[in-house]
Amino acid sequence: MKDNWEWRKQIARLALFELVKKSRGAVLSWSWFFIKPAMYIFCFWFALDIGLRVGSGAADAGAPPYILWLCAGLIPWFFMQDMLGAGIDVMHRYPYLVNKIKFPLSGISTIYTGATMLVQLMLMVALFVIYAACGMQFDAYLLQVPILLLLMFVFWDIVSIMFSQLSAISKDVKNLMNAMSTPFFWLSGVIFDVKSVPVDWIQTILYFNPITFFVTSFRGAFYDKVWFWEDPTLCAGFALVFAVTLVLALFVYKKFNEEVADVL
């Protein structure tokens, strides 16, 4: 926290530069931040709602459109997907900050997390537009969205700090996390309701999945209209995972902080 605070201005500038760099050289520029997720959402909506008729039951019961339920889970997933991908290998992404500039390694993770969160904020604006287009009323439940975004930023920044150093030491870590990206998507409740899982012990295990926590919580704010802290099991599972991740990140940072530069 100390390093990130002292270098906050440089981190903010580099995060904006990372965002500009992503859109540089493309005719549609910043539009790509929306085009790719939109295509992703359309494919899942068409397959699940039109093809498999998954959302037909909710529509018949007078519930909000299925597209809102789908977007409320997929849009947070886009952020977490990026963090599980490039976010765990930021040392190789910014080697000049490690070798040529005395830059705090934890701040390097925050640069990428900040840039990715800026994209997420833009997608959240789009989600609010979809929310209004579905005829939903703005209510107090939406006040938890900023809290969830802050929690998501802090948690995945910690994850990036831990795994990026391990990834710098060994490429096996990056390869493992890349291999786990698809299972994380299909097993974390991104496109299904975890609470509908018929086996209680499986549902309990899923509650210790941070991806499940964020997807379920955002859906609670936009679709189900519940407060995320109303589910004590879900909150307790995330709190435990958060605490363990923080302790492990501190251990890894202390142990490998000096070795990363030599390895790179």
| Alpha-carbon separation of residue 154 from 41, 106, 109 (angstroms) | 26, 12, 11
Q: What percent of the chain has pLDDT over 90?
A: 52
From the number of C-beta atoms within 10 Å of its C-beta (0-12, 13-18, 19+), residue 155 rates as: buried
- pLDDT, residue 186, reads 92
Please count the residues of the chain: 264
Give the residue ranges of DSSP H helices in 24-143: 32-45, 56-60, 66-84, 90-93, 95-99, 105-133
How confident is the model over 87-115, as a mean pLDDT? 86
- pLDDT, residue 35, reads 87
Q: What is the pLDDT of residues 147-201, one digit of tens each?
A: 999 999 999 999 999 999 888 888 888 889 888 988 999 999 999 989 888 888 8
253 versus 24: which is more confidently predicted?
Answer: 253
| Alpha-carbon separation of residue 93 from 20, 82, 139, 168 (angstroms) | 15, 13, 41, 10
Banded model confidence at residue 28, pLDDT cuts 50, 70, 90: low
Nearest to 93 by CA among 184, 163, 29: 163
The rounded distance, in Å, linking the Cα atoms of 210 and 151 is 11
- Token code pair at residue 173: 């870590």
DSSP secondary structure of 62-87: TPPPHHHHHHHHHHHHHHHHHHHTGG
